[in-house]
Amino acid sequence: MVESNKDMQYLDNYDSSIYKKPSVTVDLIILTIFENKLMVYLVNRDQSPFINMLALPGSFVSIDETLEEAVERCLERKVGLKNIYFEQLFTWGDVKRDPRMRIISVSYLALVSFEMLNKSLGEQGINGHLFSVEEILSKRINLAFDHGEIIKYARERVTNKVEYSPIAFELLPDKFTLPQLQRINEILLGKDLYKANFRKKIIDQVIETNEFTSGENHRPSKLYVRRMN
Amino acid sequence: MVESNKDMQYLDNYDSSIYKKPSVTVDLIILTIFENKLMVYLVNRDQSPFINMLALPGSFVSIDETLEEAVERCLERKVGLKNIYFEQLFTWGDVKRDPRMRIISVSYLALVSFEMLNKSLGEQGINGHLFSVEEILSKRINLAFDHGEIIKYARERVTNKVEYSPIAFELLPDKFTLPQLQRINEILLGKDLYKANFRKKIIDQVIETNEFTSGENHRPSKLYVRRMN
DNA sequence: CAAATAGTGTCTTTGAGACACTATCGT
DNA sequence: ACGATAGTGTCTCAAAGACACTATTTG
């Protein structure tokens, strides 16, 4: 080890003679909306442990990169995504969460529109796919490690946060209609909303454009962009 | 080149002899209310780096203990506290946050009544003390590492969370008066509340006892206990 | 009695919820 | 015209805010 014995005494009389470091990873919960369902991007593990099982994409944190840099590297390398929204979710530190060795995982929640995700996945050669979060959580699919629990926690975070924070916009393209925005909110909240009430609530968070949807056999819908304050 | 390091695949044949691992610590933000001020417990560093500066109490995470176990160990050994409320706050991973080496810190917010904290500090031989959070944050005191930023983040979390969560109870003894509870809320929120409105809002979160305060030259106040649902 | 804090009743204001109505496309 | 979805006006109701009032202790 590079570090000296003395350096180990960080605010503690920690016995460095038995000192072993855990490994640290970041794990990504990449969420999007597809066909009116909340979806999570998972990869198929091609090696032990949990071979052939689904897992969250992730990576070890290098000694010379921040956690956020590890997330950005992972997003770009594994999914081809740059400059998308993400936030730290929770740090998971159970001793036996990886059967081989001690790994502490800092999980990050990432939100992206299906359009952008699909474009990236098309350009990359990818071994991952989208899965319905509700299906995953109803236990019909077993995940590697504690990744099922992590997805459940991410699902709760999103449901809570959408009530007081404008995260729904992250799941839409730059230009969107209010019915689209309402549908995203309904999916995240798990319940229907009244159109008029929803609009009153969010109208000051958007700016209308002069553009409209077209081609469908009903009244066109005005396109809006997000208001950044 | 360095890319091979960053390219290591998640949970692949990870060879710990090649890749350098960061160290992992837990850092505790122990908050209490004293003399109508939000206080944080800090220790004086007796070694480099940041010698003679104030820092959050913390500890390395052992290879065979969970993050929560590290927090409990640290609370008990350093402050003599057991079974108090704590929750994970945020994980700090900047590369240079410790000038000696790479340390990733998982911070935990702990709340405790002054009565309980003071009793513990009296029993222990302690090198830490309570400091006003507002004073710390108004930059009159410089802290070791990024601990000033961590305290600021903890302050924000508490201010936000008190609006929708019953954390104020954690800062009071088991039996308390409603004026005491209101005062705690006012300190955390940073603004005065109307007595009648406050009581309407929290009355279903408490259970009245038959006891009253006494000895002060005004009307006695009824004692309540928290209602656990 | 006065001073001080504990505790309550009620009017006002605000925002969420419910629902009915009108508007504009394609066929 | 009709079916379908976009978009608006307004009544109701519940919670938050503001404020005035009463109650009970010590000195």
pLDDT in tens, B58-108: 999 999 999 999 999 999 999 999 999 999 999 999 999 999 999 999 999
Name the residue with tokens 């410790």.
B98
* pLDDT averaged per 10 residues in sequence order, chain B, 229 residues: 38 52 97 97 92 96 97 95 97 96 97 95 83 92 95 97 96 97 97 97 96 95 94
Residues A65, B6: C-beta atoms closer than 8 Å: yes
Q: Of B25, B33, B42, which is closest to residue B127 (Cα–Cα)?
A: B42
Alpha helices in A2-129 (DSSP H): 67-74, 114-123
Closest CA–CA distance from residue B67 to any residue of chain A (Å): 5
CA distances from B51 to A223, B15, B56, B132, B144 (A): 58, 36, 13, 21, 8
Q: Does the pTM of the predicted model rise above 0.85?
A: yes
Nearest to B22 among A63, A77, A101 (CB): A63
Q: CA separation (Å) from A30 to A107, A135, B10, B175?
A: 11, 16, 16, 45
- What is the SS3 string spanning chain B? CCHHHHCCCCCCCCCCCCCCCCEEEEEEEEEEEECCEEEEEEEECCCCCCCCCEECCEEECCCCCCHHHHHHHHHHHHHCCCCCEEEEEEEECCCCCCCCCCEEEEEEEEECCHHHHHHHHHHCCCCEEEEEHHHHHHHHCCECCCHHHHHHHHHHHHHHHCCCCCHHHHHCCCCEEHHHHHHHHHHHHCCCCCHHHHHHHHHHHEEEEEEECCCCCCCCCEEEEECCC
Is a pLDDT exceeding 90 seen at residue A1? no
B124 vs A164, more confident:
A164
Specify the length of chain A in residues: 229
The mean per-residue pLDDT over the stretch A89-99 comes to 97
pLDDT of residue B18: 57
B106 touches chain A (CB under 8 A): yes
Nearest by CB to A94, which of B6, B21, B66?
A: B66
**What pLDDT was estimated at residue B20?**
87
Res. A2 pLDDT band, cuts 50 70 90 = very low
Look at residue A48 in the predicted model and tell me its pLDDT.
Answer: 84
Q: Which amino acid is at B221?
A: S
Write out pLDDT tens, residues A206-216. Answer: 999 999 999 99
How many CB atoms lie under 10 A from the CB of residue A115? 12
User: What's the confidence (pLDDT) of residue A125?
Assistant: 66
- A63 beta carbon < 7 A from strand D? no
- Nearest residue to C7 via alpha carbon and C1': B196
Whether the beta carbon of B200 falls within 7 A of nucleic chain D: the reply is yes
Q: Which of A1-15, A190-204, B85-99 has the lowest mean pLDDT?
A: A1-15
Please compute the mean of the pLDDT values over residues A11-31 and round it to a whole number: 73
| Confidence at residue A16, expressed as pLDDT on a 0 to 100 scale | 41
Nearest CA in chain A to B106: A91
Mean pLDDT along residues A133-159 = 95
A56 vs chain B: nearest CA distance in angstroms?
10
Give the angle B74-B58-B152 at the CA atoms, nearest 5°: 125
Q: For A60, which residue in chain B has the nearest alpha carbon?
A: B10
Instruction: Say which residues have a Cβ less than 8 Å from residue A191's Cβ, sequence separation at least 6.
Output: none
Strand D bases within 7 angstroms of protein beta carbons:
3-10, 16-20, 23-27
Give the distance from residue B94's alpha carbon to the nearest chain A alpha carbon, in angstroms.
5
Q: What is the DSSP letter of A143?
A: B
**Interchain CB contact of B47 with A (< 8 Å):** yes
With contact defined as beta carbons under 8 Å apart, do A178 and A201 qualify?
no
CB A45 within 8 A of CB A143: no
Rounded to the nearest integer, the mean pLDDT of chain A is: 90
Q: Give the amino acid at B126.
A: I
A219: Cβ under 7 Å from strand D? yes
pLDDT of B127 = 81
Give yes or no for residue A171 having a pLDDT over 70.
yes
Q: How close A229 comes to chain B (CA, Å)? A: 20
- Inform me whether the pLDDT recorded for A175 exceeds 70: yes
A66 chain-B contacts, CB cut-off 8 A: 93-95
Does B191 reach chain A within 8 Å, measured CB to CB? no
Compare CB distances from A10 to B5, B60, B66 and report the shortest one's residue: B60
Residue B86 has phi, psi (to 5 degrees) of: -150, 160
Other beta carbons within 10 Å of A32: 22
If contacts are CB pairs under 8 Å, which of residues 3-42 in chain A contact chain B?
A: 3, 7-12, 14, 19-25
Q: Compute, in degrees rounded to 10, the torsion defined by CA atoms A33, A38, A43, A45.
A: -170
User: Residues A48-53: contacts with CB within 8 Å, 24+ apart?
Assistant: A49/A98, A49/A99, A49/A100, A49/A144, A49/B11, A50/A144, A50/A145, A53/A142, A53/A143, A53/A144
Position A211: which residue type? E
Identify all chain A residues contacting B5, using CB atoms and an 8 Å cutoff: 62
Contact residues on chain B for A61, CB-CB shorter than 8 A? 22, 93, 104
pLDDT at A121: 87
B215 CB-to-strand D distance under 7 Å: yes
Report CA Rg, chain A: 21
Q: Is A66 on the interface with B (CB under 8 A)?
A: yes
Residue A96: its chain B contacts at CB < 8 A? none
